[in-house]
A and B are shown apart, each in its own frame.
Chain A
Amino acid sequence: MEKGGGGGLETELRLGLPGGEVEKNEKKRVFEEFDGCEDRAAVHKNQVVGWPPVAVFRRKNSFNEGKLYVKVSMDGAPFLRKVDLTMHKGYTELVRALEDLFGCFGIGEALKGDEENYEFVPIYEDKDGDWMLLGDVPWEMFAESCKRLRVMKRVEENGVGLHAKDLLKGLSKED
């Protein structure tokens, strides 16, 4: 996945909230990125919402016979579970399903605020092999690129909680 210039691409092509997250002046259009970009042809198809233009009904009913099971691991749990992403319409439902599966509560907290300490941090591995925090991209884009899920549990040391980004940092070092 492209970093830097690609970052602009990612922000612009999604169904994201306008105004709040990206400065108005910095809003760039996809084609502006392309003009300057050497790998103009390197737009990952799975970063573009609604492309290729295959009807939603066909997407849901042709590929993987309409089911998308991915493995979910929870830190500390002795075995993994599987969840069908096509059964859920969004992050809230998915998180609830995960909470049911593992009998816990609060998996969704990390998706809401940004400076809090969480007990759980839900992350997923995408098509490029990168570990991503759940919730950044529109649901459909996530479902299309998620290979597996992991719910990380923070371990308290010295009574200090870990932030989501620390956990992710630790993870990328492992890989």
Chain B
Amino acid sequence: MCMFQSVMNYFPEEVLDHVFDFLTSHRDRNAVSLVCKSWYSVERFSREKVFIGNCYAVNPERLIDRFPRLRSLSLKGKPHFADFNLVPHDWGGRVYPWIEAMAKSRINLEELRLKRMVVSDESLELLAKSFPNFKSLVLVSCEGFTTDGLAAIASNCKFLRELDLQENEVDDRKGHWLSCFPESCTSLVSLNFACLKGEVNVAALERLVARCRNLRSLRLNHTVPLEVLQKILVQAPQLNDLGTGSFTHDPNSETYVKLKNAMKNCHSIRSLSGFLDVNGRCLPAVYPICTSLTALNLSYAPGLFSNELAKLIYHCKKIERLWILDTIGDKGLGVVANTCKELQELRVFPSDLYGVGNAAVTEEGLVAISAGCPKLNSILYFCQQMTNAALITVAKNCPNFIRFRLCTLNPVVPDAATNQPLDEGFGAIVQSCKGLTRLSVSGQLTDQVFLYIGMYAEQLEMLSIAFAGDSDKGMLYVLNGCKKLKKLEIRDSPFGNMALLSDMGKYETMRSLWMSSCQVTLGACKTLAEKMPRLNVEIISENEGGAGEGEARLDDRDRVEKMYLYRTLVGPRTDAPDFVWTL
């Protein structure tokens, strides 16, 4: 090769190893391993953290084979649209085979992070018993386990530092999983059980908090009452991150006064969430904490009025991340714009999904935020209406967006002022925000918006499309233009075979493509699968009779209801259920 490489080869492997230690990002490590065989070899023996964005792109055997020193694994399972009920239950994404394989190979697993995977109690039990140094379990949007599985983790993982359960569907057996942490367990740094439905033994909780002096992050569920929160805060004033359980009490009571005092003593809290049940009149207790907060999540707090929210936010001058409900209103967003000058990420969730919609937030709120918050770079905004003019202004005010997700409650609503499609507005966003990596569009949109996206969104990695576009051209603009595209998910849009088949090689440069209720036919999917053996092309049918029956019914000219394709090194998966047909 070149002289540089031969020079590098004079370094003993230990030196390369040491140099690689400084590379922490997965992308850097992946890049380094492509340089040459010897770098590949050194890198693979030194890699301890692995991230797998699609659990079906590889298999456990290949993972273990390549990275024998694996200590920390991060896996993602179901496609993103599973969050919205578009993927049938039992589609897949089970973690058990991974845990089983790592246990058999005596991998020294210390950390496991899973997203959208199916986690059984058996998996958790096996995990708890197989890895003596296990330290951290983070489960995000997973399902399939009960509190019995959690009990196994609590009982067996002697050095557990982190148990973080975010938004999982857990069958709460109302057992005493929390009491299963032995008295000898003092290592917990982070405990988040906010998503659990059942009661926990509060005495055990208090004792656990008291003996874990390194506890930094604690998020309670809604069954933990305010009285207990107060006692916990007295024991753990060192917390950085607090998720309150229930936050309702008589504000004239002694308990409330004690809580206020306990909170005044918590000088380290930087992140606050919870309020899963809240009395607005109790909120002033948190004002002293607000001044140092950098993250605030009130998106699960029911029934707070706009003025109560505004009063709270008025104290949050250092906030960088804010998640809130649209009950805050445009006016409340105005308060955010005036107060939160450090704001980087804002998420505004809808409070009233099924009702008439009280025009809770509109384009005005978004414009105000963009004008007032110069550091804004990430937004998720559910709104009643939007205009091109507003989006153009936002684009001018905030050229630094890396994530921009807009969801109009009516998926095809046009510009509220001009009745035109919202093409120009989103076009302005992609043109102005040169660093945009994630985009979700909504509202009435033609092929034009995709022309703009293909032309300008050079860094775009993930794009979500729903009820948009006029023809195959739309999808083609995106596939041809967005060189860095990794994930494309499309629903209810008129893109068909011509777009799907125009550049089949493109899909090997991407993680996955989802298309549902579009115009692609079975025949085209078959063609794609045949030409591209390193893709799995899955047809997901709703028919309970199974894909067998579905196969018999569907002819090549029929449209496919749901297609999910992804690149893979290991061929069709062996655990696909009946209703998933890998072509």
A56-76 near B? 1/0 per residue, CB < 8 Å: 111101110100000000000
A31-63 near B? 1/0 per residue, CB < 8 Å: 110100000110101101111111111110111
Chief secondary structure at chain B's binding surface: loop
What CA separation (Å) do A144 and B354 show in the bound complex?
Answer: 7
Within 8 A of A (CB), among B36-91: 81, 83-86
What CA separation (Å) do A12 and B409 show in the bound complex?
Answer: 19
Of all chain B residues, the one with the shortest Cβ separation from A61 is B300
Does any Cβ of B come within 8 Å of A145's Cβ?
Answer: yes
| A145: chain B residues within 8 A (beta carbon) | 354
Asked if B411 contacts A43 (CB within 8 A), the reply is yes
What CA separation (Å) do A34 and B443 show in the bound complex?
Answer: 13
Does any Cβ of A come within 8 Å of B427's Cβ?
Answer: no
What CA separation (Å) do A63 and B517 show in the bound complex?
Answer: 28
Asked if A49 contacts B543 (CB within 8 A), the reply is no
Asked if A31 contacts B492 (CB within 8 A), the reply is yes
| B302: chain A residues within 8 A (beta carbon) | 62, 65
For the A-B complex, the count of residue pairs with Cβ-Cβ distances under 8 Å equals 121
Neighbour of B493 across the interface among A16, A31, A52, CB < 8 A: A31
Asked if B167 contacts A55 (CB within 8 A), the reply is yes
Chain B residues with CB under 8 Å of chain A are 81, 83-86, 141, 167-169, 195, 277, 299-300, 302, 325, 349-354, 357, 382, 407, 409-414, 440, 444, 464, 466-467, 491-494, 517, 519, 541-544, 550, 553-554, 558-559, 561
Does any Cβ of B come within 8 Å of A173's Cβ?
Answer: no
Given contacts A34-B412, A43-B410, A57-B167, contact A29 B561 (CB under 8 A): no
Nearest CB of chain A from residue B28's CB, rounded to whole Å: 31
Given contacts A31-B467, A43-B412, contact A62 B85 (CB under 8 A): no
Given contacts A18-B550, A50-B86, contact A58 B349 (CB under 8 A): yes
Within 8 A of B (CB), among A116-169: 127, 140, 144-145
Given contacts A49-B85, A51-B411, A145-B354, contact A12 B349 (CB under 8 A): no
Asked if A58 contacts B84 (CB within 8 A), the reply is no
Given contacts A29-B519, A31-B493, A144-B353, contact A54 B299 (CB under 8 A): no
Given contacts A27-B559, A40-B444, contact A51 B466 (CB under 8 A): yes
Nearest CB of chain B from residue A43's CB, rounded to whole Å: 6
| A13: chain B residues within 8 A (beta carbon) | 492, 517
Of all chain A residues, the one with the shortest Cβ separation from B464 is A53
| A101: chain B residues within 8 A (beta carbon) | none
Neighbour of B351 across the interface among A19, A27, A40, A62, CB < 8 A: A62
Q: Could you jot down 8 A-B contacts, CB within 8 Å? A: A45-B410, A50-B84, A52-B353, A53-B84, A55-B84, A55-B141, A57-B167, A63-B351
| B412: chain A residues within 8 A (beta carbon) | 34, 40-41, 43
Nearest CB of chain A from residue B558's CB, rounded to whole Å: 6
| A41: chain B residues within 8 A (beta carbon) | 410, 412-414, 444
Given contacts A34-B412, A57-B169, A62-B351, contact A29 B85 (CB under 8 A): no
A6-37 near B? 1/0 per residue, CB < 8 Å: 00000011011111000010010111101000
What CA separation (Å) do A58 and B407 show in the bound complex?
Answer: 16
| B351: chain A residues within 8 A (beta carbon) | 62-63
What CA separation (Å) do A12 and B467 show in the bound complex?
Answer: 13
Asked if A63 contacts B553 (CB within 8 A), the reply is no
What CA separation (Å) do A101 and B151 show in the bound complex?
Answer: 35
What CA separation (Å) do A90 and B168 show in the bound complex?
Answer: 20
Nearest CB of chain A from residue B220's CB, rounded to whole Å: 14
Asked if B409 contacts A52 (CB within 8 A), the reply is yes
What CA separation (Å) do A54 and B141 show in the bound complex?
Answer: 13
Asked if B85 contacts A140 (CB within 8 A), the reply is yes
Nearest CB of chain B from residue A82's CB, rounded to whole Å: 19
| B519: chain A residues within 8 A (beta carbon) | 29
Asked if A17 contacts B349 (CB within 8 A), the reply is no
| B517: chain A residues within 8 A (beta carbon) | 12-13, 29-30
| A34: chain B residues within 8 A (beta carbon) | 412, 467
What CA separation (Å) do A58 and B353 show in the bound complex?
Answer: 11
What CA separation (Å) do A46 and B352 show in the bound complex?
Answer: 11
What CA separation (Å) do A40 and B83 show in the bound complex?
Answer: 26
What CA separation (Å) do A145 and B169 show in the bound complex?
Answer: 23
Asked if B354 contacts A62 (CB within 8 A), the reply is no
